[in-house]
Amino acid sequence: MPSLSEVISCLSGYDPNAVPVAQAQQIIRDVVAPVQAVEKVAIRSALDRVLAQDIVSPINVPQNDNSAMDGYAVCGGDLDTNGPTVLKVVGTVHAGGRFDGAVNQGECIRIMTGAPMPARCDTVVPQEFTEAANATAVTIPAGVVKTGDNRRLQGEDLMAGKPALFKGKCLRPADLGLLASLGFAEVPVQRRLRVAFFSTGDELRSIGEPLDAGCVYDSNRYTLYGMLTRLGCDIVDMGVIRDDPSSLEQAFRTACENADAVITSGGVSVGEADYTKQMMATLGDVTFWKIGMRPGRPMAFGKISSNGRSAYLFGLPGNPVAVMVTFYFFARQALLRMMGADDTPLPLMRAVSESAIRKKPGRTEYQRGILTVGEDGLQRVRITGAQGSGILRSMSEANCMVVLHHEQGSVNAGDPVDVLLFEGLV
């Protein structure tokens, strides 16, 4: 992987004080490498884990052609197309059983859902389409089935020798079922990513401490806890660190010696960045950005090292909404990449804006929105009250973010806008 300095030196027109969102995302993607460590876990424990190898199907699922309905297995060519066909019932086959005898012209087999198709039979006539059925004969009206109907083919779900799941997939309930259908008891997954985080600020108090005048409770460690846990990371919560160079340096060193990635909040804004910058100069290759976005302008990104261990650093801004937005739009994708997971950006949806939104071209804005579906079936979005980057309530009330892109200008009421649903974002 190229270093941060190498990646940045190749960019033309790069200005750390005016980095467009897309450029910052690209730089992070170019620098961050997947952690190479695999472990085997029982398939139940693999839920939400990242698959570490392609899974090739060792068997056909289903093993045989079989019936999709309860009814009569026939050879489609035996059925009269102009009038009813009377067939002799020469046997019965249940799921899990088999019928090895011959089924000759004019004959059929009573068959249950999931039972293997007898030789020569290629079609199942559902029971409800038949007439005058008894133990020995059944009448099939003309035109109720076509040859091949209601037959499931061998390997139509999973074909022996073909990949069933690909490396990098985050395993969901359907995937656990799929692995079970192939008979796997265990599955190779990426080891969990370890992410250390701490909050910085002399004004921060932890829960349980008295809230001194002018202080606020530290909320960022809780939103980060939630977002990282949902992403499937192991977390190392290092608490609140005072704005003092030696405590901060010690915290950065401990974090990077114990984790794959370090996330901090606060301490990167104009007033505070200077001494953090000095410290980073000794710890590693870190750049301080002013990103063309709102909320969340200041952010630090890079790699730090201590005692032979290194970790990627995401120095997020302090404001509670800015922390979440920069996590979602920068850290999330980088962490997924480190986890060896598919990091395709989440799809944006379109919704009609209920009101006008003022927006200047030249920066990306993330406004908190509430998406609803009207009686007309159209998706509409309205912005949640005050959008200040310290107003966490706007995130809590919202169910999506309205993404106003870099070049985009103001929006009129009734215009379509892009939204990113929180559901799925973690």
DSSP for 127-174? GGG-BS--SSEEEE-TTS--TTTTEEPTTSSB-TTSEEE-TTPBP-HH
Q: Does 218 bind ligand AMP (CB under 6 A)?
A: yes
Site string for ligand AMP, 171-210 (x = CB under 6 A): ----------------------------x-x-xx------
Measured between alpha carbons, how far is 124 from 109 in angstroms, rounded to an integer? 9
Contacts of 13 (CB under 8 A, 6+ apart): none
Q: By CB under 5 A, which span of 17-25, 56-64, 317-325, 370-378 interacts with Mg ion?
A: 317-325
Residue from 69, 138, 75, 139 nearest 103 by CA: 75
Least distance in angstroms from the C-beta of 284 to ligand AMP = 21
Count residues contacting ligand AMP (CB under 6 A)? 18
Q: Tell me which of 168, 266, 292, 295 binds Mg ion, using CB under 5 A.
A: 266
Nearer to ligand AMP, 319 or 364 (CB): 319
Site string for ligand AMP, 304-333 (x = CB under 6 A): -------------xxxx-------------
Contacts of 257 (CB under 8 A, 6+ apart): 306, 307, 309
Q: Tell me which of 23, 57, 220, 353 binds ligand AMP, using CB under 6 A.
A: 220
Report the SS3 class of residue 414.
coil
Least distance in angstroms from the C-beta of 272 to Mg ion = 5
Measured CA angle at 398 (ends 408, 292), to 5 deg: 35
User: Cβ(330)–Cβ(299) under 8 Å?
Assistant: yes
* Residues 28-47 interacting with ligand AMP (rule: CB under 6 A): none
Least distance in angstroms from the C-beta of 399 to ligand AMP = 23
CB atoms within 10 A of CB 243: 16
Site string for ligand AMP, 263-282 (x = CB under 6 A): --xxx-x--x----------
Measured between alpha carbons, how far is 407 from 52 in angstroms, rounded to an integer? 39
Q: Does 201 bind Mg ion (CB under 5 A)?
A: yes
What separation, in Å, do the N-terminal and C-terminal C-alpha atoms of the chain show? 28
- Residue 62: asked if its preceding bond is cis (omega within 30°), the reply is yes
Q: Does 296 bind ligand AMP (CB under 6 A)?
A: no
Nearer to Mg ion, 71 or 318 (CB): 318
Nearer to Mg ion, 199 or 353 (CB): 199
Least distance in angstroms from the C-beta of 272 to ligand AMP = 5
Least distance in angstroms from the C-beta of 408 to ligand AMP = 27
Site string for Mg ion, 214-253 (x = CB under 5 A): ----------------------------------------
Nearer to ligand AMP, 236 or 352 (CB): 236
3-state helix, strand, coil in the chain (%, to 5): 25, 35, 45
Measured CA angle at 307 (ends 305, 310), to 5 deg: 30
Nearer to ligand AMP, 112 or 331 (CB): 331
Q: How far lies 396's CA from each of 91, 129, 320, 393, 422, in Å?
A: 63, 55, 11, 5, 10
Residues of the shown chain interacting with ligand AMP in the complex, contacts defined by CB under 6 A: 199, 201, 203-204, 216, 218-220, 265-267, 269, 272, 317-320, 390
